[in-house]
């Protein structure tokens, strides 16, 4: 017996919504299997990984805190992905955004102005856009594949951060640790709920979700991006500019990632170090896909991905498993999603 | 016809059915072919001809039914198996590989060790024997469409087939080349090869075929002997009614020029493309001008230059309603009053996965469907509803995906969308290609109405019959150059056929090679 | 520059280029069949960790290579199931494979982080390795370096001289035509993806068992992505892969030599480390600039899913 896919006459609306749930189910199931193989109790593993992190108010707040940069990056990436712009360098744009915003905070270390934080956010967006503009320019001007160039720029961004915190920007009173001095109060995000770390960055993320939704679903430009992504020739036939699609896709992604970077350094991190982001820029691609490139979906998948991060920390603490287990879960989730998506357009037939 | 009753039929098909999720492609089809017989399989687009041939060649498998090959039942596993049995097939959309040489292409269909030198010799032998000149060392992308077809035929003949299937083989040939092809086919038949000839062109079938099987909606609606029928009676078998005819008023003189192409020369960016050389053409208000030609002679490039999908370097090369528009993109040219119906419907003329309402926005957004950068979906929906009603588009409403429509209905929708924008100039490529007869005549009628209203219409088509039916004037494109224009009433298929090989009076001899035709 | 230094630079360049050659040749074969597998980074990571673990436990680098190859094929299989059987978007599937592979290798490799392996002995080509200058640079290598040369020759022969190679190119050029001529497109693409996976696995094994030899999380450090860029740089031709690989290999060892040469250049080490990545971008720009070259050489169906049904 061998399975065969048969095209549905009409794509299934039901499966469009079921397929992410199916993917999550499969991910949890294979996670339990993994725990079992590692000699841990699957039930215990499930509890530690998926339930423990959100047991109390602090845990839920952490969930939203972690989801903030993921949602920000994912909304920006979704705009590009819809237009077939494969910006996979959000991690680098996040870092450069953090450097731009953080540089401002370090420069105006003594200011008392309320404008510092907003200025940092703007600088972060500009920094991210600058880093994203490089692959956009290389693509529109030289036809260079943005997948590879944007990714290479991640490595370069990491090295720039490393150079700055080891060199020019190193905290003079920091015992030679590779980090900058801590930011002052005017350069940090206000905390929303006392006793937790969740901060005003969450509002920016929610605002980005709403703006993203309007752009994608209501604006003519969003429509043009969708056309370019689904049928390049139709876009050209209509006379929509392919260059503009590339630029907007990349720049929006870069701006959002840059803001996410500022949200991290002015929020939970509080300074620039070599470890600003535990791979948020990459995880955000999964968030975007699992969320169907739609802001509503991204909200939920952002929370799910945040849970995987927190679950990884818990597993490290209570099950003595490496933290990287959360990346294993992330990869599995995306795989299962991509595979279950076939059921939207196809159904299975068993062949003898 | 060598059809002695004692002989075993070469192929018998009994009760074959093939059901796809959305359509019954073949329904209980019977067909018999004898050695040396040339049998036409006649039917409209979508009648199930291609599916039947794919079943015989093993590309797909029937859900029901039986196939007898030379008297014994077989299940054709795959094309390699079919070739082993002695079945060869020439595809409508050639199954050739552009970046490989002729010999390599042939090698892919010949089992055994890879011996390109030996194979090249055999290719030359066959090509000499059947009058199919082709150079085995050349890369396929450098060949003309006619040459490519020869490669396909040679590829089949190398295996000494006893049954040869040809799927719409003449759609890419000039009338003269068609005659040469028929000679080859008759020679093969006289050697005992059976030939299944798929076509919807009634005159060709009458000229070539001994017998015919007619398909409609997947069913056999009759068998006949073409020499004893008239095109009219065969058409009735094929479409179930009489072929529609049009009346065509005289063109008025002295109307304004709406589309002017002046000395357009474009080097193709695609290495497999055709360069346009010094193309000039005028289309006036209230006339339909046709561009005839064998595909692959620059039609694609010319269309992209006219539509603005590929703007040209000099703005004066193209004038739309008097405005130099060469450097404008498609959207800005549309703003000048030009509309365009491309050859590919899905993926170019319409976005497959978007609703009809969203597909209206693609080109008609200027009609108050966008305000402050935001979409007014209601306006688009109204437009889509009008288009569906006025152009008789059969679909599940404006919310249906473009992909779910049949070829004919989607084409009516796209033509409707462009016409409802009241264009001053309308350019169409292959307006009725792959469309059923009813929809095709509806579209042609709409074009004639538009002409009455004073629109300048330019039609590019490979179907000569269609061009002669609706056009006031004709020009011919060959190797990226355009012939002088001639009134349709003052020329005929024969002359246009000669021109299609690039040999119109005053044409410079082509510089490098033979024109892009057979 | 004294001969011994030049010889050492050549030697190190070849060593640094070897994993790139192996991985890029594998990806080249995959892409020739029309499949874009962006998961090379993840596959190399898995190959590296599997090879390292098996070598630690068995003491045999050969078994280590086989383990790396097996892990690479397993990863290739995962990708093939998603992209070929389930017809998922190839770009997204490749990204998923990279994220998954990098994560899983870190997970598996945790217990091995502090361990070290003895370095694998070189095999000197009799006679030739005594040649001045080039002897050391070219003929005193570990076995896998020679393997990479043999692999290049074999793949070039396969693609341009063998029947199966012709079929593979045909499938990548026009899968629909290949299907209608009677080839099983999906099966051929499966084989190509598995081969690509196996080679990326071997490339990973070279890094962890031969080159360094140790296991550190993230040690592949973008080499998988550079290998992808190399395929574009080589315009899908095997011989050019070699040129490109040694070019990048040269970039990668610059840092080592600048610091080791006693030249007191005041360049932060991070800038030198960024060289290979910057070089990748520059090379991509130069090659991609000419659209016609790309179109003539890239497999026409690259990255497009194929369903035999349609």
**pLDDT at residue C3 in the model:** 62
Residues on chain B touching A84 (C-beta within 8 angstroms): none
Residues on chain C touching A326 (C-beta within 8 angstroms): 103
Contact C270 A328 (CB under 8 A): no
Closest C-alpha among A270, A258, A255, A263 to residue A100: A258
Tokens of A24: 């999550």
User: How many CB atoms are located within 10 Å of the residue B110 CB?
Assistant: 16
Higher-confidence position of B249 and C4 = C4
Residues on chain C touching B142 (C-beta within 8 angstroms): none
Each residue's pLDDT tens digit, B439-497: 888 899 999 999 999 999 999 998 888 899 899 999 999 989 999 999 998 998 889 98
pLDDT band at residue B513, thresholds of 50, 70 and 90?
Answer: very low
Kind of pairing, strands B456-460 and B425-429? Answer: parallel
CB C83 within 8 A of CB C26: no
Q: Is A275 helix (H, G, I), strand (E, B) or coil?
A: coil
Shortest Cα–Cα distance, C172 to chain B (Å): 10
Q: Which residue of A has its CA nearest to C42?
A: A331
Confidence check: pLDDT of B512 > 60: no
In a domain, C303, yes or no: no
Cα end-to-end span (Å), chain B: 29
CA-based radius of gyration for chain B: 24
Out of C86, C225, C289, closest to residue A148 by CB: C225
**pLDDT at residue B408 in the model:** 82
| Partner A contacted by B275 (CB < 8 A) | no
Which of C:33-72 have CB within 8 Å of A? 38, 42
A with B: how many residue pairs have Cβ under 8 Å apart? Answer: 73
Q: Is B476 helix (H, G, I), strand (E, B) or coil?
A: strand
| Partner A contacted by C221 (CB < 8 A) | yes
Contact C100 A327 (CB under 8 A): yes
- Provide the domain limits for residue C175: 3-119+132-297
How many Å apart are CA B143 and CA C135, to the nearest integer? 50
DSSP, residue by residue, B335-379: HTTEEEE-S-TBTTTB-TTSBHHHHHHHHHTTTTTEETTEE-HHH
CA C5 from centroid of its chain's CA atoms = 27
**pLDDT at residue C135 in the model:** 81
CB C96 within 8 A of CB C82: yes
User: How much of chain A exceeds pLDDT 70, in percent?
Assistant: 99
How many alpha carbons lie under 13 Å from residue C177 in its C-beta half-sphere? 26
Q: What is the pLDDT along chain A (352 residues), one digit of tens a residue?
A: 466 787 777 778 888 888 999 999 999 999 999 999 988 899 999 999 999 999 999 999 999 999 999 999 999 999 999 999 999 999 999 999 999 999 999 999 888 889 999 999 999 999 999 999 999 999 999 999 999 999 999 999 999 999 999 989 998 888 888 999 999 888 999 998 888 899 999 999 999 999 999 999 999 999 999 999 999 999 999 999 999 999 999 999 999 999 999 999 999 999 999 999 999 999 999 999 999 899 999 999 999 999 999 999 999 999 888 888 899 999 999 999 999 988 888 888 776 4
SS3 content of chain A, % helix, strand, coil (to 5): 70, 5, 25
CATH number of the CATH domain containing C49:
1.10.3470
Contact A226 B331 (CB under 8 A): no
Q: Which residue of B has its CA nearest to A215?
A: B374
Q: Which residue of C has its CA nearest to B273?
A: C292
Closest C-alpha among B93, B200, B209 to residue B149: B93
Tokens of B118: 């030996």
Report the mean per-residue pLDDT for chain B: 88
How many Å apart are CA A299 and CA A75, to the nearest integer? 9
| Partner C contacted by B78 (CB < 8 A) | yes
Contacts of A206 (CB under 8 A, 6+ apart): none
Residues on chain B touching C295 (C-beta within 8 angstroms): 270-272
Shortest Cα–Cα distance, C103 to chain A (Å): 5
Q: Give how many domains chain C has, as a whole number.
A: 1
| Partner C contacted by A148 (CB < 8 A) | yes
Q: How far is CA B203 from CA A245, B227, B465, B471, B509, in A?
A: 50, 10, 11, 21, 32
**pLDDT at residue A253 in the model:** 97
CA-based radius of gyration for chain C: 20
Instruction: Classify residue A47 by burial, with Cβ atoms within 10 Å: 0-12, 13-18, 19+.
Output: middle
Contact A155 C270 (CB under 8 A): no
Tokens of A309: 């991060």
Each residue's pLDDT tens digit, B18-27: 988 777 889 9
Contact C284 A88 (CB under 8 A): no
Residues on chain B touching C174 (C-beta within 8 angstroms): 95-98
Contact C173 B97 (CB under 8 A): yes
Confidence check: pLDDT of B173 > 70: yes
Out of C100, C277, C285, closest to residue A144 by CB: C285
Q: What is the pTM of this model?
A: 0.90
Out of A11, A237, A241, closest to residue B309 by CB: A237
How many Å apart are CA A64 and CA B179, to the nearest integer? 75
How many Å apart are CA A42 and CA A36, to the nearest integer? 6
* Below-70 pLDDT ranges, chain C: 1-3, 259-265, 309-310
User: How many CB atoms are located within 10 Å of the residue C186 CB?
Assistant: 17
Confidence check: pLDDT of B505 > 90: no
Contacts of B218 (CB under 8 A, 6+ apart): B23, B24, B25, B26, B27, B29, B47, B48, B51
| Partner A contacted by C228 (CB < 8 A) | yes
Each residue's pLDDT tens digit, B121-138: 999 998 888 888 889 999
Check residue B433 and give left, alpha or beta (phi > 0: left; psi -120 to 50: alpha): beta
Contact C180 B79 (CB under 8 A): yes
CA B280 from centroid of its chain's CA atoms = 25
Query: What are residue B68's DSSP bridge partners?
Result: B12, B73
How many Å apart are CA A22 and CA C79, to the nearest integer? 19
Closest C-alpha among A147, A97, A163 to residue C274: A163
A with C: how many residue pairs have Cβ under 8 Å apart? Answer: 143
How many Å apart are CA A55 and CA C106, to the nearest integer? 28
**pLDDT at residue B217 in the model:** 85
ipTM of the complex as predicted: 0.90
Which of C:117-156 have CB within 8 Å of A? none
CB C142 within 8 A of CB C124: no
In a domain, C126, yes or no: no
Domain boundaries, chain A: 1-45+319-352, 64-290
**pLDDT at residue C118 in the model:** 84
Tokens of C157: 């022969």
| Partner B contacted by C264 (CB < 8 A) | no
| Partner A contacted by C268 (CB < 8 A) | yes
Shortest Cα–Cα distance, C186 to chain B (Å): 14
Closest C-alpha among B54, C154, C103 to residue A312: C103
Tell me A113's DSSP state. -
Higher-confidence position of C124 and B191 = B191
How many Å apart are CA B115 and CA B106, to the nearest integer? 11
Residues on chain B touching A234 (C-beta within 8 angstroms): 347-351, 362
| Partner B contacted by A345 (CB < 8 A) | no
Each residue's pLDDT tens digit, B259-289: 999 999 999 877 778 899 999 999 999 999 9
With contact defined as 3+ CB pairs under 8 Å, the chains touching B are: A, C
**pLDDT at residue B463 in the model:** 84
**pLDDT at residue A95 in the model:** 98
CA C181 from centroid of its chain's CA atoms = 32
Shortest Cα–Cα distance, A264 to chain C (Å): 22
| Partner B contacted by A231 (CB < 8 A) | yes
How many Å apart are CA A288 and CA A75, to the nearest integer? 7
Q: Which residue of C has its CA nearest to B107?
A: C163
Tokens of C250: 């040269």
| Partner C contacted by B107 (CB < 8 A) | yes
Which of B:224-283 have CB within 8 Å of C? 269-272
In a domain, C310, yes or no: no
CB B346 within 8 A of CB B392: no
Confidence check: pLDDT of B253 > 50: yes
Tell me B23's DSSP state. -
CA-based radius of gyration for chain A: 21
Contact A9 B21 (CB under 8 A): yes
Which of B:400-439 have CB within 8 Å of A? 401, 404
| Partner B contacted by A241 (CB < 8 A) | yes
How many Å apart are CA B123 and CA B129, to the nearest integer? 10
Q: What average pLDDT score do residues B313-342 get?
A: 94
Tokens of C1: 């520059």
Residue B298 phi, psi dihedral angles, 5° rounding: 115, 0
Tokens of A170: 């190193």
Tokens of B343: 């050859």
Contact B100 C170 (CB under 8 A): yes
| Partner A contacted by B73 (CB < 8 A) | no
């Amino acid at each position: 017996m061998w399975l065969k896919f048969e095209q549905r006459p009409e794509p299934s609306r039901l499966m469009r919504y079921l397929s992410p749930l199916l993917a999550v189910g499969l991910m949890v199931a294979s996670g339990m299997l993994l725990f079992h193989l590692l000699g841990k109790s699957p039930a215990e593993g499930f509890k530690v990984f998926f339930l423990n992190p959100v047991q109390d108010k602090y845990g839920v707040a952490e969930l939203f805190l972690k989801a903030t940069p993921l949602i920000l990056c994912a909304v920006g990436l979704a705009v590009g992905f819809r237009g077939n712009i494969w910006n996979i360098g959000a991690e680098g744009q996040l870092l450069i955004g953090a450097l731009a915003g953080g540089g401002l905070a370090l420069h105006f270390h003594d200011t008392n102005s309320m404008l510092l934080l907003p200025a940092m956010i703007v600088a972060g967006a500009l920094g991210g856009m600058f880093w994203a503009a490089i692959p956009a320019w290389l693509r529109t001007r030289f036809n260079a594949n943005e997948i590879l160039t944007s990714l290479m720029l991640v490595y370069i961004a990491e090295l720039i951060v490393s150079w700055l915190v080891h060199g020019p920007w190193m905290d003079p009173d920091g015992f030679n640790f590779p980090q900058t001095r801590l930011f002052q109060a005017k350069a940090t995000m206000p905390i929303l709920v006392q006793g937790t770390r969740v901060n005003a960055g969450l509002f920016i993320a929610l605002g980005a979700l709403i703006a993203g939704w309007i752009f994608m679903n209501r604006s003519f430009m969003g429509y043009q991006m969708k056309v370019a992504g689904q049928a390049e020739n139709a876009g050209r036939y209509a006379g929509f500019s392919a260059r503009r699609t590339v630029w907007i896709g990349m720049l929006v992604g870069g701006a959002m990632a840059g803001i996410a970077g500022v949200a991290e350094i002015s929020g939970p991190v509080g300074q620039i170090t070599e470890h600003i982001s535990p791979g948020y820029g990459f995880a955000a691609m999964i968030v975007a896909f699992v969320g169907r490139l739609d802001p509503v979906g991204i909200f939920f998948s952002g929370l799910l991905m945040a849970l995987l991060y927190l679950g990884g920390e818990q597993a490290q603490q209570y099950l003595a498993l490496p933290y990287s287990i959360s990346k294993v879960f992330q990869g599995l989730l995306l795989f299962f999603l991509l595979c279950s998506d076939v059921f939207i357009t196809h159904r299975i037939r068993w062949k003898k | 016809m060598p059809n002695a009753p004692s002989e075993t039929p070469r192929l018998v098909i009994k009760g074959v059915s093939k059901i796809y999720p959305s359509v019954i492609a073949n329904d209980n089809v019977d067909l018999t072919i004898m050695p040396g017989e040339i049998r036409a399989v006649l039917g409209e687009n979508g009648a199930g001809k291609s599916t039947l041939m794919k079943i015989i060649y093993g590309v797909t498998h029937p859900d029901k039914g039986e196939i007898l090959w030379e008297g014994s039942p077989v299940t054709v596993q795959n094309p390699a198996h079919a070739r082993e049995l002695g079945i060869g097939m020439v595809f409508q959309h050639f199954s050739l590989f552009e970046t490989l040489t002729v010999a390599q292409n042939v090698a892919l269909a010949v089992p055994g060790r890879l011996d390109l030198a030996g194979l090249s010799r055999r290719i030359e032998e066959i090509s000499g024997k059947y009058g199919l000149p082709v150079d085995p060392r050349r890369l396929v992308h450098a060949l003309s469409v006619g040459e490519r077809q020869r490669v396909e035929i040679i590829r089949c003949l190398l295996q000494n087939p006893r049954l040869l299937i040809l799927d719409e083989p003449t759609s890419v040939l000039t009338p003269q080349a068609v005659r040469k092809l028929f000679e080859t086919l008759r020679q093969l038949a006289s050697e005992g090869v059976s030939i299944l000839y798929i076509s919807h062109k009634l005159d060709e079938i009458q000229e070539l075929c001994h017998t015919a099987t007619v398909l409609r909606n997947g069913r056999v609606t009759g068998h006949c002997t073409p020499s004893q029928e008239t095109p009219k009676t065969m058409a009735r078998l094929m479409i179930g009614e009489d072929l529609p005819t049009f009346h065509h008023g005289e063109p008025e003189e002295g109307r304004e020029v709406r589309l002017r192409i002046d000395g357009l020369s474009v080097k193709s960016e695609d290495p497999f493309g055709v360069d346009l050389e010094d193309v000039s053409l005028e289309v006036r208000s209230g006339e339909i001008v046709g561009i005839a030609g064998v595909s692959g002679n620059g039609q694609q490039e010319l269309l992209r230059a006219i539509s603005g999908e590929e703007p040209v370097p000099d703005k004066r090369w193209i004038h739309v309603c008097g405005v130099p528009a060469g450097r404008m993109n498609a959207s800005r040219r549309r703003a000048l009053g030009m509309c365009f119906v491309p050859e590919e419907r899905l993926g170019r003329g319409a976005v497959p996965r978007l609703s009809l309402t969203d597909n209206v926005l693609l080109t008609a957004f200027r009609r108050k469907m966008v305000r402050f950068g935001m979409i007014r979906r209601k306006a688009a929906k109204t437009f889509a509803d009008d288009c569906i009603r006025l152009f008789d588009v059969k679909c599940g409403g404006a919310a249906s995906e473009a992909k779910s429509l049949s070829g004919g209905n989607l084409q009516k929708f796209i033509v409707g969308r462009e016409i409802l924008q009241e264009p001053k100039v309308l350019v169409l490529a292959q307006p009725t290609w792959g469309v059923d007869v009813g929809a095709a005549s509806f579209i042609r009628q709409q074009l004639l109405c538009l002409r009455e209203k004073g629109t300048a219409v330019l039609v590019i088509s490979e179907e000569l019959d269609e061009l002669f039916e609706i056009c006031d004037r004709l020009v011919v494109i060959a190797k990226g150059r355009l012939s002088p224009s001639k009134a349709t009433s003052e020329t005929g298929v024969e002359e246009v056929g000669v021109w299609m090989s690039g040999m119109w009076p005053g044409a410079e001899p082509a510089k490098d090679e033979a024109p892009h035709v057979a | 520059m004294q001969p011994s230094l030049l010889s050492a630079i050549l030697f190190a360049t070849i060593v640094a280029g070897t994993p790139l050659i192996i991985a890029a040749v594998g990806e080249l074969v995959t892409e020739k069949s029309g499949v874009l597998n962006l998961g090379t980074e993840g596959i190399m990571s898995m190959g590296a960790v599997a090879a390292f673990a098996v070598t630690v436990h068995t003491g045999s680098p050969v078994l280590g290579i086989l383990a790396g190859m097996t892990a690479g094929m397993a990863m290739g299989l995962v990708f093939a199931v998603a992209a070929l059987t389930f017809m998922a978007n190839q770009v997204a599937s490749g990204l998923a494979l990279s994220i998954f592979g990098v994560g899983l290798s870190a997970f598996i490799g945790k217990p091995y982080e502090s361990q070290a392996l003895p370095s694998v002995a070189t095999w000197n080509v009799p006679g030739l390795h005594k040649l001045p200058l080039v002897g050391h640079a070219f003929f005193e290598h570990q076995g896998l370096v020679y393997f990479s040369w043999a692999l290049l020759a074999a793949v070039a022969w396969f693609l341009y001289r063998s029947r199966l190679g012709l079929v593979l190119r045909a499938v990548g050029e026009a899968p629909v035509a290949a299907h209608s001529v009677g080839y099983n497109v999906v099966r051929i693409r499966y084989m190509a993806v598995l081969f690509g996976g196996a080679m990326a696995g071997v490339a990973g094994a070279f890094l962890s068992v031969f080159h360094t030899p140790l296991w550190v999380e993230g040690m592949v450090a973008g080499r998988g992505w550079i290998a992808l860029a190399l395929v574009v740089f080589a315009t899908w031709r095997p011989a050019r892969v070699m040129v490109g690989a040694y070019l990048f290999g040269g970039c990668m060892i610059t840092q080592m030599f600048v610091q080791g040469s006693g030249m007191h250049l005041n360049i932060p080490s991070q800038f030198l480390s960024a060289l290979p990545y910057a070089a990748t971008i520059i090379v991509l720009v130069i090659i991609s600039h000419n659209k016609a070259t790309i179109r003539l050489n890239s497999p026409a169906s690259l990255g497009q899913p194929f369903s035999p049904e349609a």
